Amino acid sequence: MWGADAAASPTKSSPFGGGFGSRENDIENVAPGNAANGETAAESPLSPSLSQEPPAIITESIAPEPPLPDYPPVSTLARTELPSDMEFVEVIITSLADLPNFYVHLATEQSHHELAKLLDELNSGTLPAPSSHPPSQGQVVVCKYPVDNVWYRASVVGTHDDKSVVKFIDYGNEEVVPLANVVPCPPELLKQPVLCVKCTLHGVYPPPPAYHWSPEAASFLQQYCGRTLLVRMESRDALHGTPSVHLVDSSGSGEISIAVEMVRAGLAAPSPPSTPKTPPTEPSPTTSTATPPSSVKKDDQSVRYLSRIKLPRESEFEVLALSVSSFTGVYIHPVSPETPHYLSTFMKSISEFCFAQTTPPATHPPVGHYCLALFDGSWYRAKVESFDSAHSNLGVFFVDYGNRETVRLTQIRSMPAQFTDVPKLVLKCALYGIEPRTALEPDPTILALFSQLATSSTLKCRVVSYQPLLVDLVDPATSCSLRDKLGLSPLPPTALFSVETSSLGEGGKSHVQVTEVHGPNDFWVQSVESPNLHQLNPLMEKIHSHCLSVSPSHPPVLGELSCTKFSEDQTWYRARVIGFPSLTQCKVRFLDYGNCEVCEVSTVVPATEELLQLPGLAIHCGLYGQETTGERGDGGGGDFRVMVENQILEVEEKGWGRGQAVVALTGPNGPIEI
């Protein structure tokens, strides 16, 4: 039952709830001794504390000590690998190492099953007794924590007196444990690969002037421990093979690059120190070739950020689909009478510039930066996504078309500032109304037909949701939806329902409570003066009764309005389906609060028209005067979050369009500015 506090906001997803729904299912993904949310170790079976010493003698379920214990080296175990196909995959951070390194679990059903099976086998059978012959460095053992009496696989880092430093090989963290709690690992438990993957955060370096990592940088990354994030491998360390990855938080309405946020907060630098390590015997040059700081800043901004093209204010407009990678990866360009001439003129100016620049840059642009790249005989703006040093190849994303290609280092040119004034010409959107299997495992033939239909002519686009951008694409010649032309599953009746969005009132100033924050350009509020707010409690009763009386009649579809059980309080709330992390999970946004959560499909019930009569109480806002870049992590703003989250503030609406209010905020100490 939801009880008396039904109107309270469902808070952000539990750090343990990213990959598999409930906390009980996800808690085993957090490393021993690395509770991510400040809970005491005793509350988590995988976050034990060493404040209690073990019993002097361990007798239960322990076999007689073998005369010669077998401690195999950890290097003999197989290892879990990240996919190397340049696609983002979901992971759960299990622990931090020395920055910028960390450990992750793949957030898949298979990984979850393997981890659960391993822990069950470790703790349900008979294990060897502690040996009088202690293991050596690098050897595999099984280690028991005294607080929760749970066994884990580990490798020995070192031993001193009656203590041992061990590294939990399936989580990545190191701890000091009593030597009495270390026993040989049974051979059958050595067959399963090491379940965590060591990664290094791509594109960050210790910041000046000290050029070392600060405790604040570690704390910043620590907050993501135990949470489900997206990673994409860019390269591997040549010596150890450690994958260098982009790390993205997609729990909100946008996608926040962790590396970009660390750089913005001054916790990391985007490039290594440029000062050469000159031998003492070699004289320094008399003329400095260093770029002035002001120029560095200007050039860095010109190659790292591009603004995003804006949608028309109307909910229906014409578009060109320039590229299709999937049903959830459609790249569209809003059409205007000037579009053909504009595109032709802009691309011609890029080509003229590049053909005049016969020499490629001395070094390739860093990953995440922009350049000009040659493809199929023409030059285009592109974003560097990976670099293969062995073959001098770069993986690039063409920001004005939406396709990805591999180009040679000789086929790129630096992007001058004159080409950064034009926003990226395409927006990524997803086709409304598709089912999980169609989104994740599309039929190649149908997808190819969709790409052909979408890119062959101008289409009519109807926006269903702006956050994220969900659209229905229609052939204007026949007024037939592309969904129908493709013969996709018919939309369930509930997918045709709609809900209005609350407003901030007509002119003047009012007061709001900020319920969800991703940055100055992306936050959600409730109007505390809206009469609709008082109708929420009676509505919650109806939602509760409805969800207990019905069962899901069909798989949820993208964009569908539903009622969803929130994992933190097990209460039903109104929500919209906005994504499918897996075939059994969907991502939703709560209509009355603005926050998102990944939940099991079984906890999503179609809404009724009666439950949707009350407008959604969460209002999407952007701070007046802020420029949006459209980059991953756009707006960031940890300081902004601290200033406004869960605060009641005065708001003045400055504009409205594209599903978002542009507002000025005033707090107790005056206007809020970033």
pLDDT band of residue 38 (cuts 50, 70, 90) is very low
Query: What average pLDDT does this structure show over 277-284?
Result: 30
Which of 271-280, 439-448, 615-624 has the least mean pLDDT? Answer: 271-280
- As for how many domains the chain has, the answer is 1
> Looking at the domain assignment, is residue 109 inside a domain?
yes
> Looking at the domain assignment, is residue 51 inside a domain?
yes
pLDDT at residue number 641: 78
pLDDT band of residue 332 (cuts 50, 70, 90) is very high
How many angstroms separate the CA atoms of 300 and 322, rounded?
A: 29
The strand pair at 427-431 and 470-475 is best described as parallel
Provide, for the chain, the percentages of residues in helix, strand and coil under a 3-state DSSP scheme, each rounded to the nearest 5: 20, 30, 45
Q: What single DSSP character describes residue 282?
A: S
Mean pLDDT of the chain, nearest integer:
78
Is residue 374's pLDDT more than 60? yes
> Looking at the domain assignment, is residue 57 inside a domain?
yes
Query: What average pLDDT does this structure show over 192-217?
Result: 85
pLDDT at residue number 617: 93
Q: What single DSSP character describes residue 170?
A: T
> Looking at the domain assignment, is residue 213 inside a domain?
no
Query: Where residue 47 sits, what CATH number does that domain have?
Result: 2.30.30.140
How many angstroms separate the CA atoms of 148 and 155, rounded?
A: 20
Is residue 192's pLDDT more than 50? yes
> Looking at the domain assignment, is residue 174 inside a domain?
yes
**Cβ-based neighbours of 654, under 8 Å, separated by 6 or more:** 624, 662, 663, 664
> Looking at the domain assignment, is residue 184 inside a domain?
yes
Q: Which of 131-135, 388-392, 612-616 has the highest mean pLDDT?
A: 612-616
The domain in which residue 181 lies consists of: 23-198
Is residue 29's pLDDT more than 80? no
Q: Which amino acid is at 72?
A: P
3-state SS assignment for residue 220: helix
This prediction's pTM? 0.56
Say if residues 573 and 592 touch (Cβ distance below 8 Å): yes
How many angstroms separate the CA atoms of 238 and 193, rounded?
A: 22
Is residue 527's pLDDT more than 60? yes
Is residue 596's pLDDT more than 50? yes
Is residue 51's pLDDT more than 50? no
> Looking at the domain assignment, is residue 604 inside a domain?
no
What DSSP string runs through 104-150? Answer: EEE-SHHHHHHHHHHHHHHHHS-BPPPPSSPPPTTBEEEEE-TTT--
Query: What average pLDDT does this structure show over 563-579?
Result: 91
Query: Strand runs (DSSP E) across 16-114, as ranges?
Result: 89-96, 101-106
pLDDT at residue number 85: 65
**Cβ-based neighbours of 189, under 8 Å, separated by 6 or more:** 118, 121, 122, 142, 153
Query: What average pLDDT does this structure show over 523-548?
Result: 91
Nearest in space to 323 (alpha carbons), one of 282, 266, 380, 384: 380
Q: Is the dihedral of CA 639, 641, 643, 649 positive or negative?
A: positive
Is residue 348's pLDDT more than 80? yes
pLDDT at residue number 65: 42
Tell me how far the alpha carbon of residue 592 is from its chain's centroid: 23
Query: Strand runs (DSSP E) across 237-276, as ranges?
Result: 243-249, 256-257
**Cβ-based neighbours of 64, under 8 Å, separated by 6 or more:** 129
Is residue 411's pLDDT more than 60? yes
Is residue 2's pLDDT more than 80? no
> Looking at the domain assignment, is residue 514 inside a domain?
no
Using one digit for the tens of pLDDT, what is the confidence trace for 458-517?
999 999 888 889 999 999 989 999 988 898 888 887 777 888 888 886 666 889 999 998
The percentage of residues in the chain with a pLDDT greater than 70, rounded to a whole number, is 79
Rg (CA), the chain: 27
pLDDT band of residue 239 (cuts 50, 70, 90) is low
Distance in angstroms between the alpha carbons of the first and the last residue of the chain: 42
More confident residue, 577 or 51: 577
Using one digit for the tens of pLDDT, what is the confidence trace for 289-300?
222 222 223 333
Tokens 């595999």 belong to which residue?
A: 140
